[in-house]
Structure 1
Amino acid sequence: MISVKAPGKLYVAGEYAVVEKGCPAIIVAIDQYITANISESENNVGVIHSKQYENDKIEWIYDNNQIKTLNDNSSFNYVISAMKTFEKYVEELDINHKLYNINIDSNLNSQDGKKYGLGSSAAVTVATIKALNELYDLNLCKLQIFKLAAIAHLRIQGNGSLGDVAASSFGGWIAYSSFDKNWLTNQTNLKKTLEQRWPHLMIETLTPPSNLELLIGWTGTPASTANLLKSVEESSNADRYNQFLSKSKSCINKMISGFKNKDLTAIKRQIKENRNIIVELASFTGIDIETNKLKRLCEIAEEYNGSGKSSGAGGGDCGIAIVEKQSPIKDIETKWTENGIVPLHLNIYSEQEA
């Protein structure tokens, strides 16, 4: 049996703007995972199963070289999309299809099943692609894995930046900007698509300053990224939206420079600026991005000379704070707890841990 894992993610800065091509964000992979176990089937059908859905499974076969599921379960949509995408690529390489079983396990949620907003759909898509890459022994690089997973993920979600897919594919801290999705829609050959440069795509590894500490707080309220993104897309103030994109791009580029120059003060300054930019977006779109708990999370971070902001789509889920390693972190987390914010003691994922 082959076993691989793909990490979850947290957005550090650049949310909402990053859904537009060429607009950068900073994202970090964290050490909570989706694990995919894969083995060749000894029967005439393959089985998809998950420890999170003990009573559910999907059986599948090949029918005219196409994956055909014998029963339906939306819980496995991203897995099936990843399989179909990968098998199309295999067909273009003129490799014989394999029939296999996939078992999925996750620790991206709390023990009682509550979602932290760590990007489970992206991680399960990447984990499936990585497992198939090993099963077929194709030795795909991280960028090729990202591209296949991005195509598969986009077919299900239909919107978003795919930054969570990039973080799950590459690990560590990354600077990311999204590709031109209209360009991708017009590509028909997967092999050629993987070999091409994708317009506007940027995935760049970052190394944080040695004195930077990332703190994560969970507000206890799950949020729907897809719904929040749709709400922003439907807002009609084009001028203010374009101003938001311009401000966000400038802010994140300065933050990327802060990483490259190992300048923690500059990073904290731009975290605070990005928070203000996103709060302004929330104001003119009428969307509740920075909830009361997320606002309090940021205020407490600032009391200790740190900078905090919502992470991802906001509206609940997690917030982050950037502080110096020498800061009284226990005091910050105690105040968070007193305000109904759960500190999550997560570490940065690096490929060496895989």
Structure 2
Amino acid sequence: MTAGRTVTRRAPGKLFVAGEYAVLEPGRPAILTAVDRHVSVTVSPADGPETVIETDLGPPGTRPRPVVEAIDVVDGLLAERGRRPSPVRVSIVSRLHRAGTKFGLGSSGAVTVATVDAVAAHHGLELSPGDRFRLALLATARRDPRASGGDLAASVWGGWVAYRAPDRTAVLALARSEGIDRALRAPWPGLAVTPLPPPRALALEVGWTGEPASTSSLTARLETGQWRGSPPQRAFLEASDTCVRAAIRALERGDDDELLHQVRRARRILADLDDAAGLGIFTPGLTALCDAAEAVGGAAKPSGAGGGDCGIALLDATAAPNTARLHQRWAAAGIRPLPIHPRPTTGSTP
């Protein structure tokens, strides 16, 4: 592609199906699915000497840090390859928000992936899915070394994926000592992204509590010396790993009943973590969301860090009355159903 052209790239949001919090630890598994809502990023030549960012992710004049870091990491790669990056105009439109309020669908990850892709393409650099992910994770880890990168994997590859995170501290150190280009080509121990088949006959429903939550503030509470390495942490990680591995096997075998069982189990594991660490994962809204789904024969849990945002429910896709009853129960509890569906796989894994 010719450098300097106007380029638009899109990246989908995500939902966590199982493995939240545990996936923060390198090599621990989680399951995510990409969704059919996205962030769109258009990059064109800047009119002046400075890069300009226009976005609906916040008030006018906002310069979202994920976008700034994404631009910087691509500029760094270009500089290492002897290229001189030029100022750009970056325009962002998000369907993962409503009137500036986020739903908890991974907008930060999606905008990072789309910005990396669009800025690189604008400068004539077409990235493989693996390089797009790695650059996005380097950009994300610069602002939040604890972020797992699971949302980035879902945004890059789409569909249902099993994900294990690399050691982000080690990856950042590698990029600083050896350079970004060398870091892209080096092994990243712990990293694994595996496509999964979707459930055979289960519908995925998404409910929004109307309460925006901060993932980073919730996950930061697990950094305390009392939690890390403690017996409750070890018990949580072991329980999560066992549950996620069983859910992966259920998806691979097409065993919907077993998947429902493991999603209910994942809810209990998160509840136990909430009790042990006092994170505030389960708000009254999220509890009502989950109870409503189980009352109509489904399985449900918070998706992501909890504390608000959204939850997911899996129901028999052939039983339309159950879905209608779920939506009625959600409405009574102040939960808004979102018209969101999983997005198909988009690329080969690393």
TM-score, normalised by the number of residues in structure 1: 0.90
Name 1:169's counterpart in structure 2. Answer: 156
Name 1:68's counterpart in structure 2. Answer: none
SS at match of 2:271: helix
Name 1:63's counterpart in structure 2. Answer: none
- Find out whether 1:265 has 2:270 as its counterpart: no
The percentage of counterpart residues that share the same residue type is 35
Q: State how far apart, in whole Å, the 2-side matches of 1:138 and 1:149 are.
A: 15
Give every structure 1 segment of 4 or more consecutive aligned residues whose post-TM-superposition deviation is greater than 6 Å: none
Where do 1:1-354 residues align within 5 Å?
Answer: 1-53=6-58, 55-56=60-61, 75-110=63-98, 112-187=99-174, 188=177, 189-234=179-224, 236-237=226-227, 238-327=230-319, 328-350=322-344
- Identify if the C-alpha distance between structure 1 residues 42 and 284 changes in structure 2 by more than 3 Å, giving closer, same or farther: closer
Code of the residue aligned with 1:296 in structure 2: it is A
Please report the RMSD computed on the Cα atoms of aligned residues, expressed in angstroms.
1.8
Per-residue Cα deviation, 1:24-46 (whole angstroms, up to 9, x for no partner): 11111112221111112354333
Unmatched 5+ stretches in structure 1: 57-72
Unmatched 5+ stretches in structure 2: 1-5
SS at match of 1:186: helix
Greater alpha carbon shift after TM alignment, 183-192 vs 337-346: 183-192
Code of the residue aligned with 1:227 in structure 2: it is S
Code of the residue aligned with 1:108 in structure 2: it is L
Instruction: Give the count of matched residue pairs.
Output: 335
Q: Is the 8 A contact 2:244 2:262 kept in 1?
A: yes
Greater alpha carbon shift after TM alignment, 340-349 vs 180-189: 180-189
- Identify if the C-alpha distance between structure 1 residues 139 and 259 changes in structure 2 by more than 3 Å, giving closer, same or farther: same
SS at match of 1:203: strand
Q: State how far apart, in whole Å, the 2-side matches of 1:221 and 1:4 are.
A: 29
Greater alpha carbon shift after TM alignment, 217-226 vs 34-43: 34-43
Q: State how far apart, in whole Å, the 2-side matches of 1:181 and 1:154 are.
A: 6
SS at match of 2:205: strand
Per-residue Cα deviation, 1:79-136 (whole angstroms, up to 9, x for no partner): 11111111111112222323321111112112x3322111111111111101022212
Name 2:3's counterpart in structure 1. Answer: none
SS at match of 2:188: coil
Q: State how far apart, in whole Å, the 2-side matches of 1:279 and 1:235 are.
A: 21
- Deviation, structure 1 residue 200: 0.5
- Deviation, structure 1 residue 163: 0.8
Q: State how far apart, in whole Å, the 2-side matches of 1:96 and 1:191 are.
A: 15
SS at match of 2:161: strand
Q: Is the 8 A contact 1:223 1:317 kept in 2?
A: yes
- Identify if the C-alpha distance between structure 1 residues 215 and 93 changes in structure 2 by more than 3 Å, giving closer, same or farther: same
Per-residue Cα deviation, 1:228-248 (whole angstroms, up to 9, x for no partner): 101122262411101100110
SS at match of 2:101: coil
- Deviation, structure 1 residue 54: 6.4
Q: State how far apart, in whole Å, the 1-side matches of 2:129 and 2:267 are.
A: 31
